[in-house]
Amino acid sequence: MMRRLCAIFGLAAATTLAGAVTLDAQVEADPVLSGLVVRNGAPLGGAQVVLHRVDAVDAGALDTLAADPDGTFRFGLPTVPDPGGRGEIYFASVDHQGVLYFGPPVATAMELDSIYRIEVFDTLTAPVGGADLAVAVRYLLIEPFEAGWTVTDLIELDVPQGRTIVPADSGGATWRYRLPSGIGEIQVGGGDIAPVSTSFVGDTVSVSMPLTPGPSQLVLRYAIDSLALEVPLPGETGELEVLVREPVPNMEVTGLVAVEPVELEPGVVYRRYAAAALSDSAISFRATETLGGGGIPVELLMVLIGFGLAGVGIWAVRRSPAAVTPGAGTTLVSGRADGSAPTSVSDDPGGSVDPDARQRLLLDIARLDERVEGEDDPVERERLQAERDELIARLERA
């Protein structure tokens, strides 16, 4: 599993380096985006393709056309992307069976040389209570903080190939999962699953957004009063790893095996416990004393879990406004897992935005524009517009 972490870190570094090279290189390119719409690997003709442009000042749809019978399409762009200047980003979307699929962001001239691919899938309605999905990988990063501990819980779902899973009705669940009982405030963010599409009742998290085939990550952060926790593992779990930041007191661990510690950054060492091929089981750990300390920077966590736009499908559901992607940096607070309604807060009121986060902000702005345009409820429309204005302000501070 550590090879996975190292590979993710290496990919992030390589992506950053590549981005730095393109800033200095002057690449001649035609302002044309040539693409292909595919459904389950086969070309999909006739699909309505929408071209979007977003920058730090404005965002919105530029043009719409129908893909040719062979699934191809071609847009003329008003500019060649200039990451060192205007910083605009282009991307295209296709609405298929009520689900909005986005292609990857195009931020450099070099990216116009490749065929732009948008992959869509037919939908599969989840049963009442959510689909039965296996957890491919789960990480728990535990760190001392003030009088207690914080847990960053990354759950990577393995959504079967072939179809996008959607809820049976508005407000329904595509997937539900049981969390440890007695945990404190829950924050959602940093993964593929949108915070606004995540809710909590008791010790259960419910996801309402559509889930496309392949891996899909949910990232939670919550507090525990002491280093004592029982973690339920409903269904199938392919790999599980618990990383506890040193210094750590002696621990009693059940259901896991101690493996070699890892240093995630200079001087920051984590004790590790792992297990594999688990089915409807649970793990537990307990320490006899409390240690103080600070948490790992969120930026490093995002690198470690591979949160980024590269290779990640972004989607939204027009038929269910409650299940569409939120603005960047939103978190949900459940109020100690007591079933109270979650509320939205900002997890970065004034911090700087790194280049990857800037791209995420730009795309979130574009997705909010989609929602504002299709929203009939004036109160919800005003809320979405305020969220968009907040993201624009964050970009201006970057």
Least confident of 202-216, 219-233, 297-311: 297-311
Do the domains 1-120+355-398 and 134-307+326-347 sit in the same CATH topology, yes or no? yes
Q: 152, 31, 104: which is closest to 310 by C-alpha?
A: 104
Q: What is the pLDDT of residue 322?
A: 28
| Cis? peptide before 213, omega within 30° of 0 | no
Least confident of 62-66, 256-260, 320-324: 320-324
Q: 275, 192, 284: which is closest to 237 by C-alpha?
A: 275
- For all residues of the chain together, what is the average pLDDT? 75
Q: What is the pLDDT of residue 206?
A: 94
C-beta separation of 32 from 112 below 8 A = yes
Greatest CA span in the chain, whole angstroms?
Answer: 67
Q: Indicate if the pLDDT at residue 3 is higher than 60.
A: no
| Three-state secondary structure call for residue 322 | helix
Q: Sort 33 into a burial class: Cβ within 10 Å, 0-12 / 13-18 / 19+.
A: buried
pLDDT (tens digit, 9 = 90+) per residue, 95-129? 999 898 999 989 889 999 999 999 999 999 999 88
List the domain boundaries for the chain: 1-120+355-398, 134-307+326-347
Q: Indicate if the pLDDT at residue 291 is higher than 70.
A: no
Q: What is the pLDDT of residue 193?
A: 86
Q: What is the pLDDT of residue 318?
A: 30
In DSSP terms, 200 is beta-bridged to 205
C-beta separation of 216 from 157 below 8 A = yes
pLDDT band at residue 56 under the 50/70/90 scheme: confident
Place of tokens 């179809």: 163
What token pair was written down for 330?
């939103």
Q: Indicate if the pLDDT at residue 287 is higher than 60.
A: yes
What token pair was written down for 359?
């791209």
Residue 52 to residue 385: CA distance in whole angstroms: 18
Compute CA distances 158 → 111, 213, 234, 240, 285, whole Å. 29, 8, 14, 14, 26
User: CB under 8 Å to 85, separation ≥6 — which residues?
Assistant: none
Q: Indicate if the pLDDT at residue 24 is higher than 80.
A: no
C-beta separation of 190 from 302 below 8 A = yes
What's the mean pLDDT in 161-173? 88
pLDDT band at residue 145 under the 50/70/90 scheme: confident
User: Angle 308-359-82 (CA atoms, 0-180°, nearest 5)?
Assistant: 130
Q: Which CATH number fits domain 134-307+326-347: 2.60.40, 1.10.287, 3.40.50, 2.30.29?
A: 2.60.40
Helix axes 2-24, 355-374, angle to 10 degrees: 90
- CB atoms under 10 Å from CB of 84, counted, come to 11
C-beta separation of 81 from 107 below 8 A = yes
Helix axes 378-397, 355-374, angle to 10 degrees: 160
Topology of the domain comprising 1-120+355-398: Immunoglobulin-like (2.60.40)
Helix (H) or strand (E) holding 204: strand 204-207
Highest average pLDDT, of 10-19, 179-188, 323-332, comes from 179-188
What's the mean pLDDT in 140-163? 89
Residue 90 to residue 327: CA distance in whole angstroms: 18
Q: 388, 361, 367, 392: which is closest to 197 by C-alpha?
A: 367
C-beta separation of 270 from 167 below 8 A = no
- Whether pTM > 0.85 for this model: the answer is no
Compute CA distances 203 → 104, 159, 337, 356, whole Å. 35, 23, 6, 33
